[in-house]
Amino acid sequence: MGQLFRGSASEAIAPLEHGLMLNRYDPQNFVWFNVLALAYLFAGQANEGLVAAIEARKVGPTWRPTYETLACCYVSLGRLPEARSCVELMREMENPTGDALAPLRLRNPHWADQMADLLKKAGWQQ
């Protein structure tokens, strides 16, 4: 996570994958899969990001940040109907009390802007 938050998306992938292999059944893996998905997305590998985001959704199906990541991956892959479905689900979900991704956005405003643009293309208005 530290590698990603420092802006090294490509370098974050292998350690995140390794950590997930250590404990595939950790109930918090939805966060780790989501972070892995973002690492892939920002490394220019949206398809792999989508796979990781889908895993995040399986572990934590009600965590809204996963749907943000899914929508971003879908838009990056040109799959707007799926991205819009994610946005519709996001509208029905509560915003989590804490923002686990705040340090990512703070230290990497270009990625925060990229996510905002992708979400806007998916139909998300804040």
Averaged confidence pLDDT in the chain: 95
pLDDT of residue 78: 98
pLDDT of residue 99: 86
Interior/surface letters 64-78, b for 16+ CB within 10 angstroms, e for the rest: bbbbbbbbbbbbbee
Mean predicted confidence (pLDDT) in 57-70: 96
pLDDT of residue 42: 98
Mean predicted confidence (pLDDT) in 56-66: 95
Mean predicted confidence (pLDDT) in 63-80: 97
d(CA 20, CA 31): 11
pLDDT of residue 41: 98
User: Do 48 and 69 form a contact (C-beta atoms < 8 A)?
Assistant: no
pLDDT category, 97, cuts 50, 70, 90? confident
pLDDT of residue 59: 95
- Proportion of the chain above pLDDT 70, given as a percent: 99
pLDDT category, 18, cuts 50, 70, 90? very high
Predicted confidence (pLDDT) at residue 86 exceeds the cutoff of 80: yes
Predicted confidence (pLDDT) at residue 126 exceeds the cutoff of 80: no
The answer for residues whose C-beta is within 8 angstroms of residue 18's C-beta and 6 or more apart is none
